[in-house]
Amino acid sequence: MTASAIFQPLKLPNGSTVANRLCKAAMEENLAEQPGQYPGERLFALYRAWAEGGVGMILTGNVMVSPSSLTGPGGVVLEAGTNLEPFRQWAEIGKAGGAQMWMQINHTGRQMYKNLGEEAVSPSDKALDLGKLSSLFAEPRALEEAEIEAIIQRFVDTAALAEEAGFDGVQIHSAHGYLSSQFLSPLTNQRTDQWGGSLENRARFLLSIVERVRQKVKLSFGVSVKLNSADFQKGGFEFEDARQVVEWLGGHGVDYVELSGGSYESPAMTGSGTGSGTGSGTGTESGTSTGKREAYFIQFARDIAKVAEMPIMVTGGITKRAVAEDALAHDAAGFGVELLGIARAMAFNPDLPNDWRAGRSLEFEMPAPTWSNTTFAGLATMAITKAQMELMAQGKPVKPDVSPIRAMLADQWRTARRARNYRKWRAG
């Protein structure tokens, strides 16, 4: 592909066309209205800025399929019986600039904070290992088979409601250590029934969701999957596993697969730890040079594209147009990445695609803590990013030079307040 190919359209398997190859990838906003956990003015303001930024596709942050399973107390929930009007407005705002608007749907599984007061569930009763931070998370119990079936149905219900609300598609989150990813990993799935053991059994949860969602929605409605290229943990979900799952997804009406990596225990998705470290913070940096740190899942994606029937999207660390151009380059056989997810950079500069098109901000740099403890560095990175989204949600300009410590403290204060509001809502 040439440099101009970044802004060339892409036709998806469902027949729809994405205006260009850039997608505002999903990020944790934690800006839902309370009580109720629905999108409101703050999320509308944030997505209005992104809709004007020039991307071809916008992915929402986590929309949870169950009110008892939130990645954070300010998370959005969409389930049967939810008032769809604010979701219709959200979809309309996201599409106002010509982008497709997709909803990412998710279930936390064991990665749920204890202060939410809810019971954590997982394929097996294996708790998170985050060293001293482990106590922040609820101890999980193993799911019963009937509960697994009920959660699959929740994904189906949420996808159908997203279609009804006017979204262009849904992305089923099966990465970053959340529930579907927990089923895929032998570290967190130690079941001996049809949902555990072999990779085929461990992939059954994800494949069942995809099959049943595709059966429920129209063929023109998009269905995608976010998948780890690897867990970056010894004995976990490996690259060859990801390749096989992508092959199995072929023929199931999947419009694209987004590849990322890592989990709370090994936060490779933040660029903070792509080694074999655990929650003790012993992971390694994803690279010592800027080129290695940026687009750190691209080579995985290129290899998996060789067996994929659907377009492959890669997300992770892309901040420079030159890196984006290289990432979209195909090999001699014509295999390569078709979509690029831009996440954190869009929080610091929502106009980045427009800037790239106009030849501006080609060497955009983001602040990132260089602390030796990768767990804390990952948390600080997320806090700094959330601080920018908080500002945009208030109609204010971003502040890239915010102090990591101050951002973390402010995020903790907001999280505590929202957790109290969430618990009151759940109690009521």
For position 45, what pLDDT does the model report? 98
Task: Write the pLDDT tens digit of every residue in 400-420.
Answer: 899 999 999 999 999 999 999
**pLDDT per position as a tens digit, 283-321:** 323 333 434 445 567 888 889 999 999 999 998 778 899
pLDDT digits (tens, 9 = 90+) for 258-283: 998 766 775 555 444 433 333 333 23
Mean pLDDT of the 5-23 span: 97
Question: For residues 40 and 43, what is the distance between their CA atoms, to the nearest angstrom?
Answer: 6
Q: Please say if the pLDDT value at position 10 is more than 50.
A: yes
Q: State the pLDDT at residue 266.
A: 59
Using one digit for the tens of pLDDT, what is the confidence trace for 205-229?
999 999 999 999 999 999 999 998 8
Out of 13-17, 188-192, 304-308, 367-371, least confident range: 367-371
pLDDT of residue 60: 98
pLDDT at site 4: 72
Fold of 3-427: TIM Barrel (3.20.20)
pLDDT score for 317: 79
| 248-258: pLDDT as tens digits | 999 999 999 99
**Residue 378, pLDDT score:** 76
pLDDT of res. 130:
84
Question: What is the identity of the amino acid at 149?
Answer: E
Q: pLDDT tens digit string along 37-83?
A: 999 999 999 999 999 999 999 999 999 999 999 999 999 999 999 99
What pLDDT is recorded for position 334?
87
Mean pLDDT of the chain: 89
**What is the structure's pLDDT at 294?**
53
Query: Tokens for 126?
Result: 């294996």
* pLDDT average, residue stretch 167-179: 96
Residue 311 has a pLDDT of 97
Q: Which residues contact 264 (CB under 8 A, 6 or more apart)?
A: 111, 128, 130, 176, 177, 279
What are the pLDDT digits (tens) for 105-138?
A: 999 999 999 999 999 999 999 999 888 889 999 9
Question: What integer pLDDT is reported at residue 207 of this predicted model?
Answer: 98
Which of 148-152, 323-327, 352-356 is predicted with the least confidence, judged by mean pLDDT?
Answer: 323-327
Extents of the domains making up the chain: 3-427
Higher-confidence residue of 148 and 401: namely 148
Cα–Cα distance for residue pair 411/402, rounded to 1 Å: 12
Task: Please state which of the ranges 76-80, 150-154, 270-274, 338-342 shows the lowest mean pLDDT.
Answer: 270-274
Query: pLDDT value at position 288?
Result: 36
